[in-house]
Every structure is written in structure tokens, then in C-alpha cells.
Structure 1
């Protein structure tokens, strides 16, 4: 059986916030993702593990990336009050660290790498929304920084099942291990 050393592992959950989980998620619903995320958080914190809740936010959109692209960028301003807040079911859980990012990945421009390295963490368990955007970018950044990774596949969702399935089957196995949240909990 595989073991995860909790003292060297962080649970990092991407964009489980009001304004993002309000959109369609596939192949799992937002409710399923949040319920499994809560179970993972509780399992990690019960063992003294480090949990990071990552949210994307902006004061006025000027601090976010704005490259010229073929696909229209998501508007960075004009969101309703509270759109960038972690969903209440997770925000209320004790023992979590909330990190704000300004782009897709959770490492670039944040203190995530410093927070992990100062704690002696060399492995992350990753989940969140969207599988093919924020989670994928964070996973690629973590890979380039030398972190071992587990992907909690059933604690992720994308705008459509095809995007989720593509990243899960073609990207994540090349940079880490894809497992269910139940399997990950059994490894703790």
C-alpha cells in the first residue's frame, strides 16, 4: 500500500470559490467537488497536514494577465460581491491557509512555494476547478519546481467533461499520480 507522509505533503485546492463554482462543472457537480474537498481537508487537518485554499481575485483587473489571445479573456472586473470568496462549506473549516492568485497558476506571483518549502513539503495533493485551467497550470508549475504530486481526480471539474478527461488522462499521469480522494485519504 502507498503511504503519504502528511508532514511533507500539502493539500492544495484551486478556486473553490463562489463565483467559479456557480458555473457548470463536469464530470462532477460543484456540490460533489465541495463535499469531497471538505472530506479531504478534514482528513488532512486531523493528521496535522497543511491545507491551502487558493482563490483568484483582483481589485480592478489591472493586476491580472491581459495578453492578446484568440479566445476572449474572462472579464476581470464587474463581478458580484463575494464572487472571490471561498465557498462557506470550506472557508469555515479551521486550520487552512487561504492564498490569493491573480492568474491561472497558484505559484507564479504568490508565496505558495515559500510556504511549502518552509514547512519541508515536497509533495502536493491537488484538486479544484477548473481541471484544464487553474489546476493544470498549478500542476505544471509544481512539476517544474520539483514537487511530487497526487491529483484528487474526483475533487476536480471543468466546463465540460472532455477538457477534464483530456488533462486527467494525458497530462496528469506524466507529472504525478492520479487517484480518487478516497484512495488519497487511505494513504494518509
Structure 2
């Protein structure tokens, strides 16, 4: 289904497009997902809309990682030094908002909601890795906070293809509008250049 519109105050929120995550084996090539996300970021910056880069990071001693009993541990015990770094082509650029999270969702225990509300943001476009974890958790949290949510399907991927497809086809349509980068970019107003 096509995206109907974007709010005039819409921010782009990119989830976990960081060096350590981009190295993981994904259902779709992470280089392609990153290219599409960079295109979105450039378009949002050009139109004067906020760009939020979210990454997951932990203290060197691992003291701030969650350790619930689970069948599949989420965080390896040792992460490479550059795990949380953003790739150079993504930024951040001057004016971008950087959010560090310690959980799946970008709103939990961060200042993301505060940063968006202070800028009058009422809608968010989400993209990143992984669709069924960081992006989906953030979409749920944004929906619960009454943001209008749009998901850029071709700027997301997952470590597990069935999980990616389930999020896009079953869950996101209940929380958001789902579209492609071209469609989202076409809905962004272009700034008026002064003579």
C-alpha cells in the first residue's frame, strides 16, 4: 500500500546502522541497505528535517548490558572497538541527533522522545537493522507515543529473512505505513532557494 503522506514535522530515525551491525550476515546485503539509508538521510537533511542516528553501545565492562535468561543470548561477551561507530558515509553531520541506546528500542531509557518533541516532530520514518528487533521495537514505541510512523522497507533488513518479512507484512501495517525510499523522498518538500 502506498504511503499517504508525511507529517510536515517528520524526522528520520536510523536504527543501528553501525559498523559492528553492518558486518553481520543479513537477509539482504547490508551495503545496499546502508546506501538507501544514506539517500534518505541526505534527502531529510536537504529538506531541513531532523536526522537521528541511533546506535547501540555498552560500557567497556559490560555493566549496562541486559542479562535476562534467554535461549539465544543477544550480545556477545566481547565486542570490537569500532562496534558502535557509524560508517563515514552516514555521518553524523552537523545538526544530526545521535542517540545511544542499550536496549532494542530507541526510545527506552534515551532522550529520543524529548529530542523529537522539542523540535515539534509528529512523524518518524524508520529504517535500519534489524527489522524485527531494533526497527520493530522502535516502531512500537513510536506508535505508543502517538507518532505517525513510516517504515522504509528497502532501507531495512534482518539477520533472519522470515522475521524481516513478518515485520513488514504482518506487524508494521498495524503500526505504520510501509513504503520504499523513492516514495518517501518524493514526499519530502524541497527547500525554497532565495535569489
Trace 1:73-88 onto structure 2 (pairs within 5 A).
73-75=74-76, 77-88=77-88
- TM-score normalised per structure 2: 0.90
5 Å-filtered alignment, 1:58-77, equals: 58-59=58-59, 60-75=61-76, 77=77
In structure 2, distance between residues paired with 1:48 and 1:137: 26
Distance 1:127 1:108 in 2: 17
Does 1:100 find its partner at 2:100?
A: yes
**Which residue matches 1:20?**
21
**TM-score between both structures, scaled by the size of structure 1:** 0.93
Q: Distance in 1 between matches of 2:98 and 2:174?
A: 28
- Would you say 1:114 and 2:114 are equivalent positions? yes
- In structure 2, the partner of 1:36 is 36
Residue matched to 2:183: 183
Whether the 8 Å contact between 2:92 and 2:98 is mirrored in structure 1 is: no
Higher helix fraction: Structure 1 or Structure 2? 1
* Cα root mean square deviation, aligned: 1.4
Residue matched to 1:45: 45
How far apart in 1 are the matches of 2:46 and 2:74? Answer: 40
* TM-aligned CA deviation for residue 73 of structure 1: 3.0
Cα distance in 2 for partners of 1:35, 1:73 equals: 26
Q: Distance in 1 between matches of 2:186 and 2:91?
A: 24
Residue-pair matches, total = 185
| Aligned partners of 1:2 and 1:187 also within 8 Å | no
- Residue 172 of structure 1 is matched in structure 2 by 172
Deviations 1:43-85, CA, capped at 9 Å, x for gaps: 000010000000000112211221111222322x421111111
CA shift digits 1:14-39 (9 cap, x unpaired): 0000000001122x311101111111
What residue ranges of structure 2 are gaps of 5+ in the alignment?
A: 189-195
Q: How far off is 1:95 after superposition? A: 3.3
Corresponding position of 1:153:
153
| Structure 1 unaligned spans of 5+ | none
